[in-house]
Amino acid sequence: MPKKTPRSLAANRARLSHKAAYALRNPARVVPYLRRALRDRWLRIKHPDHVDYYRAVMASDTAANPEAAVGSRSHDRWLALGQMQFDFLLEHGLQKEHRMLDIGCGNLRAGWRFIQYLDSGNYYGIDISPDILIAAKKTLAGYELQEKLPHLTLTHDLTFDFLPSGHFDVVHAHSVFSHSPIEVIDECLAHVGRILTPRGFFDFTFDRTEGAEHQVLREDFYYRTETLTALAEKHGLTARFMDDWEKLPHGQSKIRVTAAEAPAPVAD
């Protein structure tokens, strides 16, 4: 996982000059990138709506390799990234009795660990991709976690209109906003406060830039921290940048959101 540096945080990956320099440094990746760019262009033509488009992306990626579809280049990396998410949340407030909503649960890279740890019935995973949810069920069966009765649900938006108010102690979204235009993030932040308990919290990762905000192939979106914290505040939430996540070997950054009047949970 590339380390965040002042240079990488200032880079604009949408610029032709950046793409040309990257291609010169990584010639073996040029052809795969062009293939992906052509595929994504075709999918965007077929699916103008972003959620429909990204669902098609996930269908294509999952058919090739479900673990790669959620961003893991190998099974060892899939395991390591799931462990990293689990360990961080365990150190930062997650308890067995908590009810957890995992947005973009994928094929349960981290989810199977949360399911194993939480009390039965307390894990609720949602995703926009039916294909990756089928892979998630295979992961669930593979780890023999059926008795934990997790919920795995297909969704099309992040309004959470089918979920009860004040229900979740923890909401988690790993590598979701990194693939989301700002209107999707705004929708999530507009509604997540309703489903959180008074002392609940919402952790999400994002691709951070300290330069111009930009996107690549409508798959990867780069935001400034202050853009997302201000968006949370607009919806009556308090957001703080999680500095200790930056110490971990992960390319994305993390923000924690709580109700404005609620004290942040303290780790045991």
In whole angstroms, what is the distance from residue 56 CA to residue 45 CA? Answer: 11
Whether 17 is in a domain gets the answer yes
Angstrom distances, CA of residue 197 to CA of 89, 102, 253: 17, 15, 24
Whether 264 is in a domain gets the answer no
Q: What is the pLDDT of residues 44-87, one digit of tens each?
A: 999 999 999 999 999 999 999 999 999 888 999 999 999 999 99
pLDDT band at 265 (very low <50, low <70, confident <90, very high): low
pTM, two decimals, is 0.92
Domain span including residue 233: 6-259
Residue 143: per-residue pLDDT: 97
Cβ pair 62, 131 in contact under 8 A:
yes
pLDDT mean over 184-206: 97
More confident residue, 113 or 268: 113
Residue 266: per-residue pLDDT: 53
In whole angstroms, what is the distance from residue 148 CA to residue 263 CA? Answer: 30
Residue 259: per-residue pLDDT: 86
Radius of gyration of the chain (CA): 18
Residue 82: per-residue pLDDT: 96
Listed residue (139, 151, 135) closest to 66, CA to CA: 135
The continuous run of DSSP H or E covering 30 comes out as helix 30-46
pLDDT mean over 94-107: 97
Helix axes 225-234, 182-195, angle to 10 degrees: 50
Average of per-residue pLDDT values in the chain: 93
4 has pLDDT over 90: no
pLDDT mean over 31-36: 91
The domain that holds 135 is classified in CATH as 3.40.50.150
3-class DSSP state of 214: strand
Q: What is the pLDDT of residues 227-261, one digit of tens each?
A: 999 999 999 999 999 999 999 999 999 999 998 66
User: Domain count of the chain?
Assistant: 1
3-class DSSP state of 234: helix
Whether 268 is in a domain gets the answer no
Whether 266 is in a domain gets the answer no
1 has pLDDT over 80: no
At residue 72, φ and ψ (nearest 5 deg) are: -110, 120
Give just the sign of the alpha carbon dihedral 94, 100, 106, 108.
positive
Cβ pair 126, 153 in contact under 8 A:
yes
What are the structure tokens assigned to 163, written together?
Answer: 């979920």
More confident residue, 110 or 6: 110
Whether 100 is in a domain gets the answer yes
Whether 105 is in a domain gets the answer yes
Cβ pair 207, 223 in contact under 8 A:
yes
Residue type at 267?
Answer: A
Whether 265 is in a domain gets the answer no
In whole angstroms, what is the distance from residue 68 CA to residue 61 CA? Answer: 7
Residue 19: per-residue pLDDT: 81
263 has pLDDT over 60: no
In whole angstroms, what is the distance from residue 251 CA to residue 267 CA? Answer: 24
pLDDT mean over 35-40: 93
Residue 75: per-residue pLDDT: 94
Q: What is the pLDDT of residues 213-231, one digit of tens each?
A: 999 999 999 999 999 999 9
What are the structure tokens assigned to 13, written together?
Answer: 């990956």
Whether 1 is in a domain gets the answer no
Residue 261: per-residue pLDDT: 60
pLDDT mean over 202-207: 98
Q: What angle do CA 207, 212, 214 make, to 5 degrees?
A: 55
